[in-house]
């Protein structure tokens, strides 16, 4: 199969063609031409304002396999990811059983071979993701675990975290932690502030994040460990991380796209689709996070994809699980509100995510296997129910018109064209 | 009753969702019902053929009885459903439970639930009028209405009046609804209690905060004393009830010391000897039993006005 991306603006800082409009020809999954100018043969992808970049890689999505196949299989995750522009996904270990030993890691890597995208398992830091005993991280690393995290569960115990950070130095591994001190966040349902006060809901104060983030940064410095502060959500975290970066060059940070887009006021009518972890916070936090991404203090923007069945989501607010599916809407929802420039987005989802995971960037040159995402910030579309590829439907964007669309991805020799 | 004014919403979810005009309309209507319930024949046919379900997922005695009495005084058909006798323990969801009840052609639902937001959840999904009888730590609108109504009876219009809410503010839906209601009626509100039981952001609702009970009593025209809700405290916020009673409890000696006639209120049930000593609870300053009486009239007014909207 041969396709041509017509007049696509290349977003690839460092590349000689960065920012120029190219006609990119792909044959049998390989880039065979990178030329400016018109070309009228083969299947052509056009757009009002076509853009192309190396394929995006989402860090920290949840997959249902093994154990929660009704929420998401590797196959359905692949479909959702490609529809949203991702050619790679690093998945969290919160499965059943968790990805906490060689056997589960190999299960995911085997599944990944058959998938049309790259799926990288993140191994658990602790057995059962319970934060008590270290899991066999060297063994998991050898079997293909790309990094280590207890995923949805922040590692509470300082000693466990310190030992994990030192242990992965064996292979210069990456420790990922979502900083939220559970004793301070105790039973919180949303951001603690004026809105939680009005709703009578117990809040998660910003300081719950600051406390654990600071601890993690101290420990990472002490252990000389590569560390990712995953899904920071507060203005204070941006400040803390900015200061830490000067002395911790191998520390990274990520944010959920929803925290760049929405605020705690979205919860005023108790819509559980807006119940998130980390919680949606104030306008001030949101602005600071956006500036954090623009100034590259926050490296990575994540979809925070968390598929959940209706029975876990369409419930009384207090009983609903936090999280929403995000792979298909992360780009479009942010583009609709013009939160980030295309280059800022591409750096966050394609370049920085790979740098944190020590993955080589796909080559954008003649003869290279194409690993591309093609998107159009001007294209309008509706996220109707028939478009949801995930097995779970927990999204606040169902039926919404969005501006900014992924038109195609090319990877592993397969071109996936969105209709 | 012939008034033309209509309630602005289909449901009574919380005081923050209604207008000051709504509140005034409820009070005006309650005046008339209060006259009715003091007649020898206390029943009126106003809600004949209206079926009301009282669905209580949390223990309640006085609120449930007060609603039931209000419904019966209005000649409504009443069914009662409580979590202990329900399918909830068998794993049925809230929505299924309520839909099952509604398919028996119920017109109005009075609901109490331990989770904040449940009346909103139901109002978005079912067609009956929803009346919140207390949802978690969110709102308890009829309690706030009867409290304000009782205050107005004694103090006149509340604009500029100083009302203190004392006790466990953190776990109290009564406090939240009272603050919204009193603010709408122009009163000044101060909350008072141990710092761990005062929410961090309470001042954002336009209230003052104090941790000194005696000076708060001296400041106020009326004090609404809340129950220490140990059952809602999933972790200890207080070292002991003994210490609470000693430093935050109100007794007759304290009331004498402030040398000023203030009103004492309590939404009940009282922990006698903890937040209120018996000599304070039973003093002349206490209007606790008037609150209970007014509760029936207020609930009759709410039911009448919501039914009248349909």
pLDDT digits (tens, 9 = 90+) for A268-319: 999 999 999 999 999 999 999 999 999 999 999 999 999 999 999 988 999 9
Taking CA A344 as the corner, what is the angle to CA A339 and CA A345, rounded to the nearest 5 degrees?
70
| Short-list A107, A103, A96, A102, CA closest to A129 | A96
Complete DSSP assignment for A1-13: -EEEEEEEEE--T
Q: A55-356 belongs to which homologous superfamily?
A: Metal-dependent hydrolases (3.20.20.140)
Q: Do B94 and A187 lie within an 8 Å CB cutoff?
A: no
Q: Which of residues 160-189 of A touch B (CB under 8 A)?
A: 186-187, 189
| B121 token code pair | 């959840």
In this structure, chain B runs to a length of 310
Q: How far apart are CA B239 and CA B249, in angstroms?
A: 15
B201 touches chain A (CB under 8 A): yes
| Short-list A125, A108, A176, CA closest to A357 | A176
Q: How far apart are CA B229 and CA A226, in angstroms?
A: 47
Q: Is B281 helix (H, G, I), strand (E, B) or coil?
A: helix
Q: Is A32 helix (H, G, I), strand (E, B) or coil?
A: strand
Q: Which of residues 269-328 of A touch B (CB under 8 A)?
A: 269-270, 311, 314-319
| Short-list A172, A173, A208, A174, CA closest to A189 | A208
Residue span(s) of chain A under CATH 2.30.40.10 come to 2-51+365-417
B176 touches chain A (CB under 8 A): yes
Complete DSSP assignment for B229-242: -GGG-SS-SSS-HH
Answer yes or no: CATH 1.20.1250.20 is held by domain A2-51+365-417: no
β strands within B126-246, DSSP E: 129-135, 162-166, 188-192, 208-210, 222-225
The shortest C-alpha distance from B254 to chain A (Å) reads 31
Q: How far apart are CA B33 and CA B296, in angstroms?
A: 9
pLDDT at residue A402 in the model: 97
Q: Do A197 and B204 lie within an 8 Å CB cutoff?
A: yes
CB pairs under 8 A between A and B: 64
pLDDT at residue A74 in the model: 96
Kindly tell me if the per-residue pLDDT of B85 is higher than 70: no
The rounded Cα B196 to chain-centroid distance in angstroms is 23
pLDDT at residue B80 in the model: 92
B139 touches chain A (CB under 8 A): yes
Q: Tell me the pairing of strands A21-27 and A30-35.
A: antiparallel
CB burial readout B185-214, b (16+ within 10 A) else e: bebbbbbbbbeebbbebbeebebeebeebe
Average pLDDT, chain B: 92
| Short-list A369, A363, A409, CA closest to A15 | A363
pTM of the prediction? Answer: 0.94
Region A9-24: mean pLDDT is 95
Complete DSSP assignment for A228-285: EE-S--SHHHHHHHHHHHTT-TTEEEEEEHHHHH--GGGGGG--GGG--SSPP--HHH
pLDDT at residue A48 in the model: 86
Domains of chain B: 15-140+293-308 (3.40.50.1370), 141-291 (3.40.50.1370)
Residue span(s) of chain A under CATH 3.20.20.140 come to 55-356
For B120-145, write each residue's pLDDT tens digit: 999 998 889 999 999 999 999 999 99
ipTM of predicted complex: 0.91
Which residues of chain B have a CB within 8 Å of the CB of A184? Answer: none
Which residues of chain A have a CB within 8 Å of the CB of B120? Answer: 269-270
| Short-list A87, A31, A93, CA closest to A58 | A87
* Neighbour count for residue B38 (Cβ, 10 Å): 10
β strands within chain B, DSSP E: 51-56, 77-82, 108-113, 129-135, 162-166, 188-192, 208-210, 222-225, 263-265
| A54 token code pair | 């190396």
Q: Do A187 and B204 lie within an 8 Å CB cutoff?
A: no
Which residues of chain A have a CB within 8 Å of the CB of B117? Answer: 199, 201, 270, 316-318
Q: Measured between CB atoms, which of A186, A199, A269 is closest to B116?
A: A199
What's phi and psi for A387, nearest 5 deg?
Answer: -90, -10
């Amino acid at each position: 199969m041969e396709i041509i991306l017509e007049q696509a603006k290349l977003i690839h800082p460092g590349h000689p063609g960065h920012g120029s409009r190219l006609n990119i020809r792909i044959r049998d999954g390989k880039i065979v031409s990178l030329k400016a100018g018109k070309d009228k043969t083969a299947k052509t992808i056009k757009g009002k304002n076509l853009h192309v970049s190396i394929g995006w890689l989402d860090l920290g999505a949840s997959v249902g396999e093994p154990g929660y196949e009704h929420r998401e299989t590797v196959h359905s995750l692949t479909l959702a990811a490609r529809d949203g522009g991702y050619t790679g996904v690093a998945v969290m270990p919160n499965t059943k059983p968790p990805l906490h030993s060689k056997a589960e890691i190999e299960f995911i890597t085997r599944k990944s071979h058959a998938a049309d995208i790259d799926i990288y398992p993140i191994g658990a830091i602790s057995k059962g993701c319970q934060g008590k005993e270290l899991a066999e991280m060297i063994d998991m690393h050898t079997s293909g675990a790309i990094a280590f995290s207890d995923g949805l569960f922040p590692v509470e115990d300082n000693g466990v975290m310190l030992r994990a950070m030192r242990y992965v130095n064996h292979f210069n591994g990456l420790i990922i932690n979502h900083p939220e001190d559970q004793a301070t966040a105790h039973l919180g349902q949303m951001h603690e502030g004026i809105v939680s006060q009005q709703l009578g809901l117990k809040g998660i104060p910003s300081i719950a994040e600051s406390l654990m983030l600071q601890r993690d940064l101290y420990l990472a410095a002490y252990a000389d460990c590569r560390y990712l502060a995953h899904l920071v959500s507060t203005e204070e975290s941006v400040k803390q991380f900015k200061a830490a970066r000067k002395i911790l060059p191998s520390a990274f940070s990520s944010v959920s796209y929803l925290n760049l887009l929405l605020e705690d006021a979205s919860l005023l009518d108790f819509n559980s689709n807006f119940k998130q972890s980390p919680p949606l916070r104030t306008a001030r936090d949101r602005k600071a996070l956006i500036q954090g991404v623009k100034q590259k203090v926050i490296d990575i923007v994540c979809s925070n994809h968390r598929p959940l069945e209706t029975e876990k989501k369409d419930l009384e607010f207090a009983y609903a699980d936090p999280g929403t599916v995000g792979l298909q809407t992360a780009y479009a929802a942010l583009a609709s509100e013009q939160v980030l420039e295309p280059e800022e987005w591409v750096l966050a989802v394609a370049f920085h995510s790979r740098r944190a995971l020590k993955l080589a960037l796909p080559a954008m040159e003649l003869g290279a296997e194409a690993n591309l995402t093609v998107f159009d910030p001007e294209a309008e579309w509706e996220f109707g129910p028939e478009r949801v590829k995930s097995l779970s439907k927990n999204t606040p964007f169902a039926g919404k018109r969005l501006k900014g669309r992924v038109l195609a991805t090319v990877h592993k020799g397969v071109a996936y064209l969105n209709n | 009753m012939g008034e033309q004014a209509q309630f602005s919403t289909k449901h009574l979810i919380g005081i923050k969702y209604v207008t000051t005009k709504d509140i005034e309309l409820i009070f005006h209507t309650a005046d008339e019902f209060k006259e009715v319930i003091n007649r020898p024949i206390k029943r009126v046919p106003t809600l004949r053929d209206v079926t009301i379900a009282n669905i209580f997922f949390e223990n309640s005695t006085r609120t449930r009885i007060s609603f039931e009495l209000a419904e019966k005084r209005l000649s409504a058909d009443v069914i009662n459903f409580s979590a202990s006798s329900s399918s909830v323990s068998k794993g049925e969801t809230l929505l299924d439970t309520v839909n099952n009840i509604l398919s028996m052609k119920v017109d109005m639902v009075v609901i109490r639930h331990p989770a904040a937001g449940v009346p909103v959840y139901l109002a978005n999904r079912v067609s009956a009028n929803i009346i919140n009888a207390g949802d978690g730590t969110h709102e308890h609108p009829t309690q706030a209405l009867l409290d304000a109504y009782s205050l107005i009876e004694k103090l006149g219009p509340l604009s500029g009046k100083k009302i203190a809410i004392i006790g466990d503010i953190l776990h109290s839906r009564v406090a939240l609804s009272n603050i919204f209601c009193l603010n709408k009626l122009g009163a000044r509100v101060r909350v008072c209690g141990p710092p761990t039981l005062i929410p961090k952001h309470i001042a954002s609702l336009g209230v003052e905060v104090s941790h000194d009970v005696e000076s708060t009593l001296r400041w106020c025209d009326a004090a609404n004393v809340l129950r220490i809700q140990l059952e809602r405290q999933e972790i200890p916020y207080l070292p002991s009830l003994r210490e609470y009673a000693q430093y935050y409890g109100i007794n007759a000696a304290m009331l004498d010391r402030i040398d000023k006639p203030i009103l004492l209120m309590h939404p009940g049930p009282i922990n006698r000897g903890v937040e209120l000593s018996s000599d304070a609870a039973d003093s002349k300053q206490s209007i606790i039993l008037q609150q209970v009486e007014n509760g029936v009239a207020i609930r009759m007014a709410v039911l009448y006005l919501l039914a009248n909207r349909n």
